[in-house]
Amino acid sequence: MLRSFIEVDSKSHFPIQNLPYGIFRTNENESPRVGVAIGEYILDLAVLDEAGHFDETAVKDKNIFKQKALNKFMELGKGAWSEVRQVIQHLLSENVSTLRDDRDMRNKAFKKQKEAELFLPVEIGDYTDFYASKEHATNVGIMFRGKENALMPNWTHLPVGYHGRASSVVLSGTDVFRPQGQIKKPDSPEPVFSPSKQLDFELEMGCLIGPGNLLGEPISVEEAENHIFGLVLVNDWSARDIQSWEYQPLGPFLAKNFATSISPWVVPLEALEPFRVSGPKQDPEPLPYLQSNKAGSFDIQLEVSLKTKKMENPSRIVSSNYRYLYWSMSQQIAHHTVTGCNLNPGDMLATGTISGSDKQSRGSLLELSWRGTDPVQLENGEQRVWLEDGDELTITGWCQGENYRVGFGEVTGKILPAKDLKIKEALKAAKQS
């Protein structure tokens, strides 16, 4: 097994088999730059580039790893990514002395993760959220339309999706203010304006697009993965009560646009290759433009934990897996672009809520509590139907190899009370006077 001279615990998410990309800075160097995670450290790629280690790769711009986002590197494509990855793995290998025995270079190139500030890894131009889990779509359909009409007629024929809000995609650790909007109770004749009472999380993953496609030129299902730079964890926070009033006829709007949290480390698709598996059998057979003979899913274990204000340690409430998704990333990309829609470097496509067939694998409180009728029991005796102020939600995920893990780290967010609009209006009036 490939090993690094950097000591990495077998349960660490960041062994030499992973090498996810992120953007960081330190007190020593306050300029954001590109790094890869290895164990408890970050390897500064700008330092390696300045030393000439990428001279034989397709990376010719000496500033490409001195960027505040990964977009420029992502534009280079699969060949360049693979070459850079090979160089990094070689330099980190336990039997290669280049970095291992060069103390000065190691001091320049390696920084402790705990001493670094991480940033949103990508400038996201567009964000599309899919609805790719059959179990999730079925559960939601049963709740709102009954068992006989759980899935809409189009669901098994195409990857259903909608365009999300890229400007409110935030980095893990960013607090989330409880959203406000119009809410109409079933027994009320008119809606009221109120903070959301049914705030929820959604366990998702997102793929980040590298090279895009020209307007008018679809991406085939066979070529789709060549456009994927890597994957991140996603929590697409959702206000269910706002959504139930606003969603007809055009779908979610305010219920989804206030925050979408992602993890800071982008795991390359190449690192996931050993964990490739087939997704669920698709019936009926998709139309030809969505058909692929290649296994299109990955065995990624996913967990969700909830920590309340009264808890010292979080309580795990979900255990799921990426492989449950009915529609693959390749199918999502092929469908997204079949009209000629152009994807751009940095675009994010999220899976939608990932749920499995058993209760523990349901990827939202909407499903776990069955729309509020079956409260979730936490380890300290508390119950949850929806998220409350002060609750901290953490999603993590990893692929389990033999004595190593290829992991995604975490995506975390804490719920803060809704902003007081009256106070904001008073402050605005005071400034104007």
Active site residues: 136
Alpha-carbon distance of 151 to 139, in angstroms, equals 9
Alpha-carbon distance of 23 to 348, in angstroms, equals 17
Alpha-carbon distance of 59 to 73, in angstroms, equals 8
One-letter identity of residue 36: V
The four Cα atoms 201, 202, 204, 208 give a dihedral, to 10 degrees, of -70
Retrieve residue 197's tokens: 């009472």
Retrieve residue 32's tokens: 């954001």
The four Cα atoms 23, 27, 31, 35 give a dihedral, to 10 degrees, of -30
77 contact partners, CB below 8 Å, separation of at least 6: 58, 210, 211, 226
Alpha-carbon distance of 107 to 273, in angstroms, equals 32
Strands 301-307 and 315-321, by their bridges, are antiparallel
Retrieve residue 206's tokens: 């997102």
Alpha-carbon distance of 405 to 196, in angstroms, equals 38
| Angle in degrees, CA 372, 376, 381, rounded to 5 | 130
Retrieve residue 361's tokens: 């694998």
